[in-house]
């Protein structure tokens, strides 16, 4: 911020385009550095991508969807009896280039790069955001409830051990729950 503060006498008025969390964050930092800031957005503030996100500080979220294990599971995901992927075959020619790139990024080196990149962003996100929330009087709106990952079988839990370890490496905190603990925490869940 020192560089901005030094130049603030020369350029007093700044326009920020986009009134989502990124634009508002930039605007608040610029204001704190002494600039007069005007936010511009074609829609209501916070109604774009900011509105549609989960509003979480997701240290657990550094694991991408396209992972090495997905390459081997892909056929059963598309053709198995409980297939979660549904592809309209008439779109396959248009989807093929995207699908090839998606599967290429399932390779370990791409996945590790994504995990490390996301992890470096996510580790500091909450602390950096709390500065802004306190500045605008919104820190009382933040709750720290955590998230729950439920595994349907002990085999699926065991199979995900590497991803839990990756989350821990990136700074996530993990607490394993028994079925009783889970039921106490979320009584509206169907018994496991």
Shared domain for 45 and 119, answered yes or no, is: no
Residue 183 lies in a domain: no
Shared domain for 65 and 48, answered yes or no, is: no
**Domains contained in the chain, number:** 2
Shared domain for 45 and 67, answered yes or no, is: no
Shared domain for 106 and 120, answered yes or no, is: yes
Q: What angle do CA 127, 150, 159 make, to 5 degrees?
A: 100
**In the predicted model, what is the mean pLDDT of residues 179-187?**
91
Q: Which residues contact 53 (CB under 8 A, 6 or more apart)?
A: none
Residue 25's pLDDT is 87
The pLDDT tens digits of the residues spanning 117-174 come to 999 988 888 888 888 888 888 888 888 888 899 988 999 999 999 999 999 999 889 9
Q: Give, as one character, the DSSP assignment of residue 191.
A: P
Residue 80's pLDDT is 66
Q: Which residues contact 107 (CB under 8 A, 6 or more apart)?
A: 68
What Rg do the C-alpha atoms of the chain give, in angstroms?
Answer: 22
* In contact, 56 and 62? CB cutoff 8 Å: no
Q: What is the pTM of this model?
A: 0.69
Residue 2's pLDDT is 54
* In contact, 189 and 182? CB cutoff 8 Å: yes
Closest by CA to 102, choosing from 87, 116, 90, is 87
> CA–CA separation, 71 vs 75, rounded Å?
8
The pLDDT tens digits of the residues spanning 53-103 come to 767 778 888 888 888 888 888 777 777 666 777 777 888 899 899 989 998
Residues spanned by the domain of 43: 11-53
- pLDDT at residue 190 is higher than 90: no
Shared domain for 74 and 107, answered yes or no, is: yes
Shared domain for 71 and 132, answered yes or no, is: yes
């Amino acid at each position: 911020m020192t560089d901005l503060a030094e130049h603030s006498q020369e350029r007093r008025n700044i326009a920020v385009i986009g009134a989502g969390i990124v634009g508002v964050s930039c605007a608040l930092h610029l204001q704190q550095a002494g600039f007069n800031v005007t936010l511009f957005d074609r829609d209501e503030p916070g109604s774009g991508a900011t509105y549609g996100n989960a509003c979480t500080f997701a240290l657990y979220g550094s694991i991408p969807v396209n992972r090495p294990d997905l390459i081997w599971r892909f056929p059963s995901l598309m053709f198995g009896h409980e297939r979660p992927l549904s592809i309209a075959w008439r779109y396959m020619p248009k989807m093929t280039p995207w699908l090839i790139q998606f599967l290429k990024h399932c390779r370990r080196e791409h996945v590790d790069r994504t995990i490390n990149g996301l992890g470096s962003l996510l580790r500091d996100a909450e602390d950096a955001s709390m500065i802004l929330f306190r500045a605008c009087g919104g820190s009382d709106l933040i709750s720290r409830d955590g998230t729950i990952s439920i595994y349907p079988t002990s085999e699926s839990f065991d199979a995900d051990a590497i991803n839990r370890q990756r989350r821990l490496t990136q700074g996530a905190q993990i607490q394993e729950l028994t079925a009783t603990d889970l039921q106490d925490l979320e009584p509206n869940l169907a018994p496991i």
